[in-house]
Structure 1
């Protein structure tokens, strides 16, 4: 079936990002498979992360179907778009329905996008991962594809005003090599291995990020361990 909505939406997003003069630093997009299913897993630091995660799949000419909270699908503007782009609503009180929907999509060759932290991390460090992504990969037999974003929090994130000015902000996107999870491997072990891969990519993106704070008032987007003023993580990292 022809994709009548998703490609134009991607085009609008690209035009918007060009108007903002964002400076993209994107590596590893060759790891996105050109055919077949995969679970694309990313950290979550800003409201536009699903757009940037989806952009990483465009060099492979793939469209990512994201699992997103059900309330987004009830919004009068975003709802019709989300449904037309075949994203998957997640009602946390009935999560198995979304899980079965995603499993069917993976088996039919789709790429499913998952943010396993389940919510934006206000510390901009990795929270603990939910096990859904690992479970999906194990049950469907598709690879896990880790990736990391950095800089997206400076545009729009929880607790801060959005900044859509022409500020030439750098946006770093890192996609790692995919790996398959043995169906017999404990799901928690797979989840921690996946989190470790995302953590490595995130650290690489942070080390190579071409921007530094202009002063103490501009360090809100940096985590505490990098000298910023973001809140310290409420959870102790698993590494």
Structure 2
């Protein structure tokens, strides 16, 4: 181990202990010289958090809940997410030129309704995608992805899983996909990682007459219009309606 004094980009000197091969230590020192010291980084972060909190108050956004440190960090994450969302408005017209509506208001409303600071922190790596998941049904409908649900021949309670594609903020050759599970009755699956469990719970809460209507529209051993029209291999609801 060797001790070094490195002058950071902000002009402050820091004393550091480094180990490893000489070349690796030189690379580390060079990297440290290109950045500010810890104290300056913390001061800048606190300034950004304070500015974000002030902007949120002016905008009338909900007060976040959590520890003081969580809330401070989440304030900046929230401001940055809204800026990214509004700045990416052109994504939708480029990706979905025939979209019947604008999904941005739905996404923004959904994420701004989240008051838990931990949610913002947990989803910080892709808050736009998390917002699309929150407002999945409205976003899918505004992009025209739920159009088949208007067909009367599909019967009640058809679960579909539209894939919403988001352009990447980095490479134009990469993209992000959000899979949303929704039902023709307006129900949206809370557990997108396990659609079967979500669908089973949804069916359990239906009235007997509604279940009977679904059985008539989705025969036990026959292909249905929903599978053909929506590209599903099987009806998601029918397996949970056995008499």
TM-score (norm 1): 0.25
Q: Name the structure where helix makes up a greater proportion of residues.
A: 2
Higher strand share: 1
Q: With CA pairs under 8 Å and 6+ residues apart, which has the higher RCO, 1 or 2?
A: 1
TM-score calculated relative to the size of structure 2: 0.24
